[in-house]
Amino acid sequence: MPSEHNTTAERLDELVAQLTLEEKVMLLTGRDFWTTWPIEKIGLRRLLMSDGPSGVRGEAWDERDPSLNLPSATALAASWDQDIARRYGAAAAVEARRKGVDVVLGPTINLHRSPLGGRHFEAFSEDPVLTSNLAAAYVKGVQEHGIAATPKHYIANDYETDRFTASTEVSERALRELYLLAFEKSVTDAHAWAIMSSYNSINGVTASENPLLETPLNSEWGFDGIVVSDWTGVRSIESARASQDVAMPGPDGPWGDALVSAVRHGVVPEDAINRKVRRILLLAARVGALEGFEPAVTTPPPGEDGIAFVREAEVEGTVLVQNNGILPILGNVPRIAVIGHNADQARSQGGGSATVLPEHVVTPLDGIRAAFPHAPVEYSMGAVVHEGIAELPLGCITNPDNGHPGVRARFLQDGREIFGEDRRTTTLVWFGGNAPIRDADTLEIVTRYVPDTSGPLKLGVGAAGVSRMWIDDTLILDVDVPVGSDDLGAAFLNPPSDGTAIEVVAGSPIMIRVQHDIPKESALAGALSFGFGLLPGDIDAEQLIADAVATASGADIVIVVVGTNAKVESEGYDRTSLSLPGRQDDLVAAVAAANPNTIVAVNAGSPVELPWREDVAAVLLTWFGGQEYGHSLADVLTGLREPGGRMPTTWPIKQDDVPVIDVTPVEGKVHYDEGIHVGYRAWLKSGVKPAYEFGFGLGYTSWILDFVEVPETVVPDEIVSVAVTVTNTGTRAGKQVVQIYAEKPSSAVDRPVRWLVAACPVRAESGETVSTVLNVPSRLLGYWDNGWMYEPGEYRLHTGFSVSDLPSTDTIVLKP
Ligand code: BGC
């Protein structure tokens, strides 16, 4: 045990000195998918890491151990509210504690550079300042509970195509002013205890070896936590010479014995190893995993009701972008029509490693039915949106081994069962946990299924590789489904599917047995994804639309929920189109023509084209709404709550208008040639009007900006305090987001037309006037040129409610 009188640093050094080189190197690579090695002799227990960021999955991907499913990061960002971000981080930390997790692998703070980015839904915004403020608040919210947050992915990982190999070619100025800013604030303001390095290269050097891990992260910002790799992102001994501390997952990996030998041969200095170990021990001390050290937080603040928070956070992030007065729906509504595949099969979260398994999801249909108990609510699907396997409903399947709802899953080795478990879903992922994926050669699953309708039923499997399916002992499917790509996301987290149709009779049980040959070679050895269930049958798309129109015509109010699906927005690949999948555009156009009282809720994590948007009564952007999605939507529809969101990212009218869109590497490189002109900065430069501008959003009340007071001068390093007074001029209480944008007239350097420097939500009762102070760090007036440079002279500060609704302009002089 380290002696009591020494400083923490000295005591950690003493512990490092007690370890052999082999022990130290062992500690630098994970023990398995999610944990690090314990070392009993120094009182170190394992550290458990888990995704994140919109909830915490826990050690295994298992529906029997569900997690709180928060709304997507885009919904959080749309709240523009640091208090919500802090509570969101705290909600994740409470989940982490419940699940024994020490390190939450989030927030994802890459930027929305292009709307095609596959993980757009998982990141906050196109703007570095909004992203920074929310990132720091999220990190604080997590760490106040004694759990480490891990802002990711460092750095310039804003697209998914060829993500393991592509190099982002980006100027130092754009890195500093845009892509690094949220990481900087997460470290200097929120003191993040961990950072995750990315898969891609930056200017030709892969992230886990990149000098950016040292400068600015350590040398300038004073980071003292661990840099953990993205999963399999450490590829070399060289990365051990860089400031990359931990390689995940383990136990295999490029370090191990090779690193011990590299140290022995003087290729990697032992001091570099010691520094990494010391950082791991400091992290362990902070989270209470190292005996003899007081954890950073001994009494975490009380957690709040997670389910109520999920509902509130989604309301705060819902952006009302159009309203002819139909919303909120007040008074009695005799007949309501709800239309859309996503109304019944809502997306509460995006796909990929961020997936958590909620106990329940309140769909829009559920939420609307609950909110209007006295109105008949009629539902029509209207268009098929979802692709691939849909799991068999739990209420229709029985595990033959125990008679309970679910399936029996067995792992076989040469035909002999070596492991078995009772599960409650037909779409299964093993990514951590006890199942012997590496030892077994076959997965076998059985269940008894009772169909609820008669006729043809398309059954299938969702897994890359060889699978077979028997119905009542007759082989109906024997397929080898090709894997489209070697990416973890595409092949493992969103597998391809194949199936065949059989005839069934409602109420007559069938015994389903499926087998899957566990691939020996896999991008992620020891992990497995396998699903079986229903595939969309042959559907008459015209008839679906006609049925929806008939349903809509007879209703007083129509609520259409359109959206994306798991094949469109997920990890591991980028989008190719901003159109809504399937026939949804035709559906909305037809429904709106049949009923003028059509309200559309958009259930997508990232921008989609809405060509009919001016032909409907109201449009709400609801993102991926979390597990209480339907209740949040109903709260907004009924006016129980005001939609609190503002655009965190610009949405285009059409894809061709988007000024920065490219996500596809050419000869292995993605060139960020637009430099600092990303998002609304690029839109302003191009002069093209988007559908919904950055910062824009309506509420249920109206506002005026009464008064703005800006100091006359500022010097570098000072904070400019801007006093703003606004009045709620409408008839109900509401929220507005005050935004300040800077402009530098006749600048000697390239500048954005204007750029966000401060924002904050304000709330007021009807008729109430409120004042607030927004702080503008003068750093945000500077620019990067081998250091932060300050151009003296006049700057304009524009204040208002979106990037182009800026009624007040003041001048401030930056003095040298
Ligand atoms: C993702 C990370 C994630 C990790 C572990 C990677 O594929 O890029 O965001 O934390 O997997 O699941």
Atom of ligand 1 nearest to the CA of 572: 7
What are 29-68's pLDDT values in tens digits?
A: 999 999 999 999 999 999 999 998 999 999 999 999 999 9
Question: How much is the pLDDT for 197?
Answer: 98
Pairing of strands 618-621, 319-323: antiparallel
- The Cα 431–Cα 248 span in angstroms is 13
Question: How much is the pLDDT for 257?
Answer: 98
Question: How much is the pLDDT for 477?
Answer: 97
CA atoms within 13 A on the CB side of 493: 21
- The Cα 647–Cα 694 span in angstroms is 5
* Among candidate residues 647, 646, 645, 642, the one with its CA nearest the CA of residue 765: 642
Which of 231, 246, 430, 574 has the most ligand 1 atoms within 8 A of CB, as the residue to mutate? 231
In the reported structure, the alpha carbon of residue 167 is separated from the centroid of ligand 1 by a whole-number distance in angstroms of: 18
- The Cα 615–Cα 495 span in angstroms is 37
What are 495-528's pLDDT values in tens digits?
A: 889 999 999 999 999 999 999 999 887 767 788 9
What are 194-230's pLDDT values in tens digits?
A: 999 999 999 999 999 999 999 999 999 999 999 999 9
Question: How much is the pLDDT for 3?
Answer: 58
SS (H, E, C) 543-554: HHHHHHHHHHHC
- Please, are residues 552 and 591 in contact by the beta-carbon 8 Å criterion? yes
Residue whose token pair is 């292995």 = 668
* Among candidate residues 528, 524, 564, 514, the one with its CA nearest the CA of residue 434: 528
Atom of ligand 1 nearest to the CA of 163: 8
Question: Exposure string (b/e) for 19-53, b if CB count within 10 Å is 16 or more?
Answer: beeeebbbbbbbbbbbbbbebeebbbbbbbbbbbb
Looking at per-residue pLDDT, the higher value among 432 and 560 belongs to 560
What are 152-169's pLDDT values in tens digits?
A: 999 999 999 999 999 999
Question: How much is the pLDDT for 489?
Answer: 60
Question: How much is the pLDDT for 526?
Answer: 86
Q: Whose CA is nearest to atom 6 of ligand 1?
A: 231
Distance of CA 17 to the CA centre of its chain: 40
**Reported confidence tier of residue 539, pLDDT bands at 50, 70, 90:** confident
Q: Is the pLDDT of residue 4 over 80?
A: no
Question: How much is the pLDDT for 483?
Answer: 79
**Reported confidence tier of residue 566, pLDDT bands at 50, 70, 90:** confident
In the reported structure, the alpha carbon of residue 432 is separated from the centroid of ligand 1 by a whole-number distance in angstroms of: 13
Q: Whose CA is nearest to atom 5 of ligand 1?
A: 231
Q: Whose CA is nearest to atom 4 of ligand 1?
A: 231
List, by residue number, the catalytic residues.
230
- Give the chain's radius of gyration (CA, Å): 27
- The Cα 539–Cα 811 span in angstroms is 62
Which structure tokens are listed for 102? 């020490």
What are 465-487's pLDDT values in tens digits?
A: 999 999 999 999 999 998 766 66
Q: Give the DSSP per-residue string, 163-191.
A: TTT-EEE--HHHIIIIITHHHHHHHHTT-
Residues 107-131 have a mean pLDDT of 98
In the reported structure, the alpha carbon of residue 106 is separated from the centroid of ligand 1 by a whole-number distance in angstroms of: 10
Which structure tokens are listed for 467? 């699978």
- Please, are residues 606 and 120 in contact by the beta-carbon 8 Å criterion? yes
Question: How much is the pLDDT for 2?
Answer: 52
Q: Is the pLDDT of residue 492 over 80?
A: no
Q: Whose CA is nearest to atom 8 of ligand 1?
A: 230
- Please, are residues 282 and 289 in contact by the beta-carbon 8 Å criterion? no
Write down the mean pLDDT value for the chain. Answer: 96
pTM of the model: 0.97
- Please state, as a whole number, how many other Cβ atoms lie within 10 Å of the Cβ of residue 331: 4
- Please state, as a whole number, how many other Cβ atoms lie within 10 Å of the Cβ of residue 503: 9
Q: Whose CA is nearest to atom 12 of ligand 1?
A: 353
In the reported structure, the alpha carbon of residue 528 is separated from the centroid of ligand 1 by a whole-number distance in angstroms of: 15
Question: How much is the pLDDT for 522?
Answer: 73
- The Cα 313–Cα 380 span in angstroms is 28
What are 292-346's pLDDT values in tens digits?
A: 999 999 999 998 999 999 999 999 999 999 999 999 999 888 899 999 999 999 9
* Among candidate residues 152, 134, 129, the one with its CA nearest the CA of residue 75: 134
Question: Exposure string (b/e) for 336-360, b if CB count within 10 Å is 16 or more?
Answer: bbbbbbbbbbbbbbbbbbbbbbbee
Atom of ligand 1 nearest to the CA of 489: 7
Atom of ligand 1 nearest to the CA of 52: 10
Q: Is the pLDDT of residue 1 over 60?
A: no
In the reported structure, the alpha carbon of residue 353 is separated from the centroid of ligand 1 by a whole-number distance in angstroms of: 5
**Reported confidence tier of residue 488, pLDDT bands at 50, 70, 90:** low
In the reported structure, the alpha carbon of residue 489 is separated from the centroid of ligand 1 by a whole-number distance in angstroms of: 9
Atom of ligand 1 nearest to the CA of 108: 9
Residues 622-649 have a mean pLDDT of 98
Which of 50, 353, 430, 522 has the most ligand 1 atoms within 8 A of CB, as the residue to mutate? 353
- Please, are residues 340 and 381 in contact by the beta-carbon 8 Å criterion? yes
Which of 105, 486, 529, 573 has the most ligand 1 atoms within 8 A of CB, as the residue to mutate? 105
- Please state, as a whole number, how many other Cβ atoms lie within 10 Å of the Cβ of residue 219: 11
pLDDT above 70 coverage of the chain, percent: 98
Comparing 217-231, 436-450, 482-496, the range with the smallest average pLDDT is 482-496
Atom of ligand 1 nearest to the CA of 353: 12
Residue type, 274: N
In the reported structure, the alpha carbon of residue 576 is separated from the centroid of ligand 1 by a whole-number distance in angstroms of: 22
Atom of ligand 1 nearest to the CA of 488: 7
In the reported structure, the alpha carbon of residue 644 is separated from the centroid of ligand 1 by a whole-number distance in angstroms of: 30
Which structure tokens are listed for 149? 């947050």
Looking at per-residue pLDDT, the higher value among 2 and 145 belongs to 145
- The Cα 293–Cα 295 span in angstroms is 6
- The Cα 619–Cα 58 span in angstroms is 36
Binding pocket residue ranges, ligand 1, CB within 6 Å: 51, 105, 152, 230-231, 353, 488
Which of 50, 51, 163, 493 has the most ligand 1 atoms within 8 A of CB, as the residue to mutate? 51
Question: How much is the pLDDT for 472?
Answer: 96
Q: Is the pLDDT of residue 151 over 80?
A: yes
- Please, are residues 125 and 178 in contact by the beta-carbon 8 Å criterion? no
pLDDT above 90 coverage of the chain, percent: 93
Which helix (H) or strand (E) covers residue 769, if one does?
Answer: strand 769-777
In the reported structure, the alpha carbon of residue 681 is separated from the centroid of ligand 1 by a whole-number distance in angstroms of: 30
Q: Is the pLDDT of residue 238 over 60?
A: yes
Question: How much is the pLDDT for 280?
Answer: 98
